[in-house]
Structure 1
Amino acid sequence: MPDWERIERSDEFRELVKRRKSFVVPATIFFLAYYMGFILLAGYASDFMGESVYQGLTVGYCLALTQFLMVFVLGIWYLRKSENEFDPLADKVVEAAAEAEDARFVRKDEGTGVKA
């Protein structure tokens, strides 16, 4: 059985958590602030949100549609960052854990203590 505490203390795992957190936390804050800004504008600046941009298309609709665009962009950005940065780090964590665990899939015989 893997030693999860040792894996958690490893430099590779800490680096993975640090890098992932440095992306996810700011992206989440940005998303929530953008969304809350939209909600506040809708509630308190109804005149501004109701202004026509083009033949019935209002500022409110435009800002609402940018929510979809933002989620799409953040999702693609995360996938690329994950593929190029997080996944290689995760592979290093797995390799380090496998090296630390001498014989991960080899069982010891209960009676003799000899590897079977």
Structure 2
Amino acid sequence: MGNEAPIAEDAAPVADFAALRESEKFRTLKRRHRSFVFPVVIACLLWYVAYVLLAAYAHDFMSTRVFGSVNIGLLLGLAQIATTFIVTTWYVSYANKHLDPIATEIRDSVEIPEALTDKAGR
């Protein structure tokens, strides 16, 4: 503790979230996120609806045996599950490469430096 002067409450930096929302980096982050998420969500929903419609109205097609007791309906159902894992892996990879670096820059620009928080006792 020694000779350290206390830091006044009003001396701590305050993040301006309105300005942050309007910054070019934040707009880039939102644009990149939306350009990935919206098309993928639409494609997945269409794929799911197609599966449901086939199951409801194309009984003969869905019951076509592929081998043994396995039919097209079962394979498409398993493909639905696989799609979830594939899209999740794809998104994580995309986020790591294209979203996280910008988010880190934004976060680092608004965080209170650790030295200030230690001295202020927060």
Q: Does the TM-score normalized on the shorter chain lie above 0.5?
A: yes
Out of 52, 62, 77, the residue aligned to residue 90 of structure 2 is 77
Question: What percent of counterpart residues are identical?
Answer: 32
Aligned-pair distance for 1:4? 1.0
Residue 19 (structure 1) aligned with residue 32 (structure 2) = yes
Out of 40, 44, 49, the residue aligned to residue 62 of structure 2 is 49
Aligned-pair distance for 1:67? 0.6
What is the match of residue 33 of structure 1? 46
Aligned-pair distance for 1:96? 3.6
Give the aligned residue type for 2:34.
K
Query: How far apart, CA to CA, are the structure 2 residues paired with 1:97 and 1:12?
Result: 13
Give the aligned residue type for 1:43.
A
Query: How far apart, CA to CA, are the structure 2 residues paired with 1:44 and 1:3?
Result: 55
Aligned residue pairs, count: 102
Gaps of 5+ in 2: 1-13, 118-122
Residue 60 (structure 1) aligned with residue 73 (structure 2) = yes
Q: 4+ residue stretches of structure 1 with deviation over 3 A?
A: 95-98
Gaps of 5+ in 1: 107-116
What is the match of residue 20 of structure 2? 7
| Post-superposition CA distance 1:6-46 (Å, at most 9, x none) | 00000000000000000000110011000000000001101
Aligned-pair distance for 1:91? 1.2
Give the aligned residue type for 1:25.
F
> Normalising to structure 1: TM-score of the pair?
0.81
The higher-RCO structure (CA 8 Å, 6+ apart) is 2
